[in-house]
Amino acid sequence: CMLSCVLSAGFSPAMSAIHAHNAASHLGQAPTTYKAELLSCSGAMLRLRGGDGDDEDLFADDEEGDVAAAAELKAKAAAAKDKAKADKPPAKTNIILDVKGWGEETDMAELEKSVRSIVMEGLLWGASGLEDVGYGIKKLRITCVVEDEKVSVDLLEENITNFEELVQSVDVAAMNKI
């Protein structure tokens, strides 16, 4: 048997198969010849070690085990992904809004008070100030931080424009992810 030197060297049948495959590929043997010889030699070696040679087929497909192992790995990966997502802080965005009143008669203090009265989960109002637009007309520039999952910019703009007697328009001056 060509593999007798590899098998008798004390290697396991699986390691012997690897060494034998390397030897067979270097010698240029055909794979079918190699496979038949490997089966006969590994079976003989198992019988010498006390096995009957029918306990393990080195070339058999273990599809049930492979499918079960793949499903288990997939479940573990999904659990790890869910845990990582839970540990991750929520995505936030810093938004600067320009809120324009109807004219110079608009009470800008009342406008700011109305805008800040909007309360939503995931919304935090920040600094504000008045800026000149022209001809005595001012606009309110106000900063807020929102959690992306809980507050949409469109909903926020809509809630501000609902103060129709004070607000003419709302523009997003800047928006940055935090």
46, two tokens? 């198992």
The tens-digit pLDDT sequence of the chain (178 residues) is 544 544 444 555 555 555 655 655 555 554 555 555 555 555 555 555 555 545 555 665 556 667 788 888 898 888 888 877 777 788 899 999 999 999 888 999 999 999 999 999 999 999 999 999 888 889 999 999 999 999 999 999 999 999 999 999 999 999 999 8
pLDDT, residue 131, reads 93
pLDDT, residue 127, reads 95
Question: Would you say the pTM of this structure is higher than 0.75?
Answer: no
Q: How many C-beta neighbours within 10 Å does residue 122 have?
A: 13
Q: How far is CA 8 from CA 2, 35, 41, 42, 91, in A?
A: 11, 18, 10, 11, 63
